Amino acid sequence: MNNWFEEKVSQIDTEELKAFGIKLWTRYGSAREMWEMLQFAQGVAEAQSERFVREVFYDSKADLCSFTLDSSVEKDGPVDLALLAVAKNTVSQFEWHGVVHHGKPMSD
């Protein structure tokens, strides 16, 4: 019997990878979480802003994505707001400056 969708079952062989120069990692190896982070990384790269994102982590247990931004990114500045817009379009649930946001829903 297939148990691919149980809470702690890894759906992908790697829980961590680098895309567009950004470290992406998911606690339990969730394919949906990695897909959302890959979409985010691609959107950021298309906006030529990947240098401002150091790391993206999806906490599978909390179902919450978080971002580590470069120290040069000013809260509510133009880069910050552009990155937030990409996150809202690609990540279903994430934390941004201590506030939980709900973005575009993705299917499991």
Per residue in 1-14, pLDDT (tens digit) is 677 788 777 677 77
Per residue in 23-36, pLDDT (tens digit) is 999 988 888 999 99
What's this model's pTM, rounded to 2 decimal places? 0.87
Please list the helix, strand and coil fractions of the chain in percent, rounded to the nearest 5, in that order.
30, 30, 45
Q: How far is residue 63 CA from its own chain's centroid?
A: 11
All structural domains of the chain with their residue ranges: 17-102
Per residue in 53-96, pLDDT (tens digit) is 999 999 999 999 999 999 999 999 999 999 999 999 999 999 99
Calpha distance 98→80 (Å, rounded): 14
